[in-house]
Chain A
Amino acid sequence: MALANADIRLSRFNPLPRILAFDDFDDGLHGWCELVGNHNGDLNEMQPVFKDMRPAQLSTCTFFDIGTHGAVDGTYSMKLATRPRKYHQAVAIKRLTSAADGLVQFEAWFTYKAEQTFGGDDSGARAWDGNYHPSEAHFGSFTLWNDICEETEPRDRYHAALRYENTNEEGEFTQRWLYKTGLHPTTRMLREGFDSNQNDVHVAKPDMWAPIPGGDQQLCFNEVPTKVNWHYLRWLFDLSTRRNTELQVNDLTMDLRDIPVLRFDEGYWGINRLLNLCMDVRTTSNVRNFLYMDSVVISADW
């Protein structure tokens, strides 16, 4: 902590003793790359949900009305952008391995937006009233998740996934944190005929998410699609217990130790000590959705 407090760029984080990565997107994407599904060299073999997860971008947060907004510090942030198509999802991944079991913490300063639209048909309670702006209802969700595999035995692999659901599948405001109750359909499972809607990389069906107790939260969308306010997030998980520990987003801290994390019954080959960190944004409207990260710190107690 002394080190973090002495560094003006790190002092807005609370890292564990060993910092594995400090990703300030003012100087590149730091290994956050597009997730791709498994294939044998023939991209036609890829399952639909994995086919088009979009490359991350170095964004200036530039908008038509004010020009460049910039980030918390410097100019650039990492941006994930969906296509303007309902249920499209953009996914970025950073691939590490773990040197020991123990705590891992992901921290970020982030924001999220729906793309500016013009001449929309939002009316009634969703019409612009000078404060509320219909753009907020155009944003679906963003999700933080991991992909962990210890060895090659059955039940060694699991994904923890925490989703901020701004609007549900029908586009209705829910503004809450969710955890998933279904397995991530892996390429092997899909090839074996696992029934999946193929429109959410995390789960096969939309009802495979459940609210985190105490997880209702309204974030600072700030009224219009061209004003961004950066939020602090801290997610702690434990490789020893194979569970989440807690999630803090601004002034809300959720105890996640009793939230179940599903494991795969099968063993997976060649991914020993896998420690992948992932994030995604998913639209529930035909409007592009954006997730921005000013900076990310990944730390561990080992």
Chain B
Amino acid sequence: MRHSFTAVIEKNATFDMDFDTEPYECAWASEARWFINVMELEGHKARLSAKVQVSPDGLFWCDEGSQFEPMSEPDLYSLAVRDFGGWLRLDCELDGTDARLRLMIYLVLKE
């Protein structure tokens, strides 16, 4: 049986500016799927963008190459990733005037 683990990376968190998620170790996994549940999104032309980033050490990061489609309304969004090495995080950008959001971010890992 293949191991799997779901980590809640952000839990009911609110943001009004750009942010990176906390580093998460995933060397044991061969596949990953991010979920972003945007529960509230306020502000004029508010939009969330999220890029996958990878790291050799959890300290220095670069883009992995994949990213979510821009999110401009509350909904559940998902993105699958493979070949990510030992660490994953999301580089999130919040655009718009007086933009503010509340969300959950899950990282689902499988061996």
Tell me how far the C-beta of B76 lies from the nearest C-beta in chain A, rounded to whole angstroms.
16
Chain B residues near A43 (CB, 8 Å)? Answer: 11-12
Q: Which of B11, B27, B57 contacts A64 (CB 8 A)?
A: B57
Whether B17 is near chain A, meaning CB under 8 Å from some CB there, is no
Whether A29 is near chain B, meaning CB under 8 Å from some CB there, is yes
Query: Would B60 and A64 count as touching, CB distance under 8 A?
Result: yes
Contact string, B1-12, partner A, CB cutoff 8 A, digits 1/0? 001010111011
The B1-50 residues at the A interface (CB cut-off 8 A) are 3, 5, 7-9, 11-13, 22-25, 27-28
Q: A43-B12, A55-B9 are in contact. Are A60 and B25 (CB under 8 A)?
A: yes
Binding site for B on A (CB under 8 A): 27-29, 34, 36, 43-44, 46, 51-52, 54-55, 57-60, 62-64, 75-76, 79, 81, 83, 115-116
Question: What is the interface of chain B mostly: helix, strand, loop, or mixed?
Answer: loop
Query: Would B8 and A62 count as touching, CB distance under 8 A?
Result: no
Q: A60-B25, A60-B86, A62-B27 are in contact. Are A55 and B8 (CB under 8 A)?
A: yes
Binding site for A on B (CB under 8 A): 3, 5, 7-9, 11-13, 22-25, 27-28, 56-60, 86
Query: Would B25 and A59 count as touching, CB distance under 8 A?
Result: yes
Query: Would B59 and A116 count as touching, CB distance under 8 A?
Result: yes
Tell me how far the C-beta of A135 lies from the nearest C-beta in chain B, rounded to whole angstroms.
13
Chain A residue with the shortest CB-CB distance to B29: A58
11 inter-chain pairs at a CB distance below 8 angstroms, sorted by A residue, are A34-B8, A43-B12, A57-B24, A58-B5, A60-B27, A62-B27, A62-B56, A62-B57, A79-B25, A81-B22, A81-B23
Most buried by B among A29, A51, A62, A83: A62
Task: Give Cα distance in the complex from A44 to B7, angstroms.
Answer: 19
Tell me how far the C-beta of B35 lies from the nearest C-beta in chain A, rounded to whole angstroms.
14
Chain B residues near A59 (CB, 8 Å)? Answer: 25
Chain A residue with the shortest CB-CB distance to B4: A28
Query: Would A62 and B3 count as touching, CB distance under 8 A?
Result: no
Chain A residues near B23 (CB, 8 Å)? Answer: 81
Query: Would B5 and A62 count as touching, CB distance under 8 A?
Result: no
Query: Would B7 and A76 count as touching, CB distance under 8 A?
Result: no
Chain B residues near A52 (CB, 8 Å)? Answer: 11, 13
Most buried by B among A28, A34, A46, A57: A57
Task: Give Cα distance in the complex from A63 to B56, angstroms.
Answer: 8
Query: Would B8 and A28 count as touching, CB distance under 8 A?
Result: no
Chain A residue with the shortest CB-CB distance to B25: A57
Q: Which of A27, A51, A64 contacts B56 (CB 8 A)?
A: A64
Chain B residues near A29 (CB, 8 Å)? Answer: 5
Task: Give Cα distance in the complex from A79 to B28, angstroms.
Answer: 13
Query: Would A62 and B11 count as touching, CB distance under 8 A?
Result: no
Q: Which of B9, B24, B58 contacts A62 (CB 8 A)?
A: B58
Chain B residue with the shortest CB-CB distance to A42: B12
Chain B residues near A34 (CB, 8 Å)? Answer: 8
Chain A residue with the shortest CB-CB distance to B106: A55
Query: Would B22 and A83 count as touching, CB distance under 8 A?
Result: yes
